[in-house]
Amino acid sequence: MENGFFDRVYEVIRRIPRGKVATYGDVARLCGNPRMARQVGWALHCNPMPGVNPCHRVVFANGSVCTGFAFGGKDVQKSLLEEEGVVVSDDYKIDLSVYRWGA
């Protein structure tokens, strides 16, 4: 039931198609409030279901992945994104102009 905002986030990120990424602000907006970006990151931090919640598909508004707080490591993040078909820059950045979901 989970009428909380929490599950709403998981539902949204799960909606992200493979090979695409969404920013915290986008996820927050899909949740109903564009200002909840921080809470989105918080929800991902809780990440009760690793593997089910593609947190690696959620990136900053500038296209940078969450390096430093990644579930397994930024290397894994980059690998996962590349595995999905997303090209990650050497600086762990993604071209939102191409991979931004919902665009």
Partner DNA sequence: CAAGTGACAATAA
Partner DNA sequence: TTTATTGCCACTT
Asked if 40 is part of the footprint of DNA (rule: CB under 7 A), the reply reads yes
> Which spans in 1-103 are helix H?
5-15, 24-31, 37-46, 74-84, 96-99
**46 a catalytic residue:** no
Q: Which of 24, 92, 99, 101 binds DNA (CB under 7 A)?
A: 24
Contacts with 87 (C-beta within 8 Å, 6 or more apart), sequence order: 94, 95, 99
When binding is defined by CB under 7 A, the residue of 44, 80, 86, 88 that contacts DNA is 44
- Footprint on this chain of DNA (rule: CB under 7 A): 4-6, 23-25, 28, 33, 35-42, 44-45, 47, 55, 60-62, 66, 69-71
